[in-house]
Chains A and B, each alone.
Chain A
């Protein structure tokens, strides 16, 4: 009986050790361990494993989504640490950026709304402004209406229409045909300019736009001398901001038309596809 117990302990230890080794080398095993920990209401362990996945360069919409859930679970379990809500918002925002799955997109959007609602509720209790999302500029909103490739294809179609209209205008006899060709060319030309600008803007945003989520509660915006800008209220965690520059441990950010600096540790950059 004692021998069996010793054998069981040794076997259990060996299995546990093998699992740990797998998790140190295999990202899939690490992800599996993270989801098991999250399912078993062990958010700290899940966070550690999901963050370790991020450290190893794994970028996946589901990893980001589960990481958001893990931070939210820690808040829900009462073990909240400062910045957990911001990190949860970061996970869901990143998942929305990365996913091609409309169901995951919907879930991440709902979860993000829940997290931001909680942040707003706390700020309302503290008497702080509850505006969490500042929205994008009009131009950015228009660019985001369609995917980059859609704008590109649309532009190509208008270019072809313009070409055909120009040729038709040349060969059409005077009269209705020529008027129709001229009108088509004018409209297609205008659309070509607009769609090519939007295609270029979408490409530029994909290549150069860097955004992040503020993960520090009530972060204060700083000026170029890294002194607090008194005229700007403390920023809520979970807010999305544009990062324009990073130097010396500080990030220059643009937020709702306001320019300033934040410690780089206060912002988590969003991964891109």
Chain B
């Protein structure tokens, strides 16, 4: 069993090997370098040539080892070869690939083997040895990108450099400061877009220019996948006769290096509305760059409407530029209901209007015009030309008919003011004649019974609104609220007063009141009344201070209660004595003098503290 498996594997190997050998017989691969000894920092070009004898194209070239070198450029060029010998045609496909390598170290290094893919296998072209010596150790080698015929990548090789120059072939190249930039926007090549005016009025021309900057040291290819700069808020017109060709406008220093500058687009943009209007970038793809997409800048234009001040009637926003009108009329004499041709030529620069307002003359019927135009770039990068309107007017009245004038109000960008282009249409003589047709179209009457027009302005009356006054809203909700609050507060005050009136007075308050009454009575001459007042005052004071009610008690019981309540014995006795004396005076059958009572009151007060 094992022997059988080995036999199968061996047979398979033989088949693969024979196929590989057959393929190898159909392709020749070789390699070479353009110098075997270079100085440190110089570049050497390693070339790999592969030529097949079949219809299959060699592909996927790979450099292989390149220790001591850095790849700075790569380029491939396929070839197709057909030869007929003695009636027998043979066909071959080739692929030549070159790598530009910059030396990084001193010493002798092996580059390669470079290889290509063909027939399901890879075929190498051999290695190359290159010695790198110190700078100045050998005569200066020509820059492979500089000298005529030395740089396989440079389309400008030898164009700007003379043969004897051994330095940078682009040194001393003439550059235009107008196109110079501080830094490059991208390596190899980039797009740069500019506008001539950042702030315009509606309809005023903005010139958009897009330049392609190409590094003169780099190999340039043909850009592909071109996307135009879109400007949806503008009417866009090209100022170039042929946009498929880039126009070399000069060279410029960008980031300290010379670049060629080509004009790829130049367009007149007419803004159709006001606002901050944006212009999208133009983009293209460079086949020779690793990241090949290149975009121009996003641009924006601030657009305003022309001033209202001095704006003539009939002005259409967007009619901006510099226009003139001329008109010719033929014939000058017709029969009634006949037709006359009016040729109006509108010429100028800017956003040339596509319609004209024809004068309204009773008995003159204007038919739809035929329009011809010859528009394009004119002097000083302006867009303009001529638009011709061929009108036919049918005249339904006789006599000398003045066709009036055609007017075109526009905003003049030169004077930044309004102007009116006008052309007189002339006078025609109309002789009376028979109607050659049905005459003017009789349309069904519409809107026949409209009211009459007004000829005097009504004027505006300043109207005031009550609801704008805060006092109104205050009064609206404040007055009922205030009433409710007044009622609620009034009731609350009334209830509080009643409650306070119904409350029992405190013993201290009673004592204070009785004290006052006694003092008042003692100031009078009625001894009995004073005695009674004194008794009430003393009882109230005792009640307030010791919570002992003397009323209803007397003698030893009263004394005992007072002592129990904490009153001193002498004071208690004095108080009871004063009460007793007052009782005697009060119920005395004769008049009682007040003066003794005053002394008694003083003693009682002293006893009570």
Task: Name A residues whose Cβ lies closer than 8 Å to a Cβ of B.
Answer: 20, 23-25, 28, 30-35, 38-39, 41-45, 48-49, 51-52, 55-57, 59-63, 65-66, 69, 72-73, 75-76, 78-79, 98-101, 104, 107-108, 110-111, 114-115, 118, 148-149, 152-153, 155-156, 159-160, 162-163, 166-167, 170, 189, 192, 196, 199-200, 202-203, 206, 249, 273
Mark B64-104 against chain A: 1 for CB-CB distance below 8 A, else 0: 00000000000000000000000000000000000000000
Interface residue ranges, B against A (CB under 8 Å): 273, 308, 310-315, 357, 360, 362, 418, 441, 443, 445-461, 463, 465-468, 472, 475-477, 479-480, 482-484, 486-487, 490
Distance (Å) between the CB of A68 and the closest chain B CB?
Answer: 9
Whether A69 contacts B450 by the Cβ 8 Å rule is yes
Give complex CA distance A64, B458 in Å: 11
**In the complex the two chains form, is A163's CB within 8 Å of B477's CB?**
no
Assess whether A100 is in contact with B451, with CB atoms less than 8 Å apart: no
Distance to closest chain A CB from B344 (angstroms):
16
Partner of B313, one of A52, A202, A206: A52
Per the bound structure, the CA–CA distance linking A104 and B454 in Å amounts to 9
- How many residue pairs bridge A and B at CB < 8 Å? 149
A23-B313 contact, Cβ under 8 Å, with A48-B357, A60-B459, A78-B443: yes
| Chain A proximity of B387: nearest CB distance (Å) | 20
Query: What's the nearest-Cβ distance from chain A to residue B61, in Å?
Result: 50
A248 to chain B, nearest CB (A): 9
Q: A41-B360, A66-B454, A159-B480 are in contact. Are A75 and B460 (CB under 8 A)?
A: no
The one of B314, B467, B484 in contact with A199, judged by C-beta atoms closer than 8 angstroms, is B467
Q: Which residue of A lies closest to B482 (CB)?
A: A163
A249 CA to B277 CA, complexed, in Å: 12
The reply to whether A62 and B476 form a contact with Cβ atoms under 8 Å apart is no
23 A-B contacts, Cβ less than 8 Å apart? A30-B313, A34-B313, A45-B360, A48-B313, A48-B357, A52-B315, A57-B308, A59-B460, A69-B450, A69-B451, A76-B450, A78-B441, A78-B443, A111-B451, A114-B450, A118-B446, A152-B466, A152-B472, A156-B472, A156-B476, A159-B480, A163-B480, A166-B480
Interchain CA distance A159-B474 in the complex, whole Å: 11
Which residues from A are CB-within-8-Å of B448? 76
Asked if B483 and A167 make an inter-chain contact with CB atoms under 8 angstroms apart, the answer reads yes
User: Cβ of B273 and Cβ of A196 under 8 Å apart?
Assistant: no
CB within 8 Å for A155 and B465 given contacts A42-B360, A99-B458: no
Chain A, residue nearest B459 (CB):
A60
A-B CB proximity, top 3 nearest = A48-B314, A107-B451, A152-B466
Write the chain B residue with the least CB distance to A108.
B451
Assembled-state Cα–Cα distance A35/B472 (Å):
43
Give chain A residues whose Cβ lies under 8 Å from the Cβ of B447: 72, 75-76, 114-115, 118
Contacting residues, chain A, for B312 (C-beta < 8 A)? 20, 23-24, 52
> A72, B450: Cβ atoms under 8 Å?
yes
Specify which chain A residues have a CB less than 8 angstroms from the CB of B483 in the assembled complex: 162-163, 166-167
State in angstroms the CA–CA spacing of A76 and B448 once bound together.
7
Of B313, B449, B450, B452, the most chain A CB neighbours within 10 A belong to B313
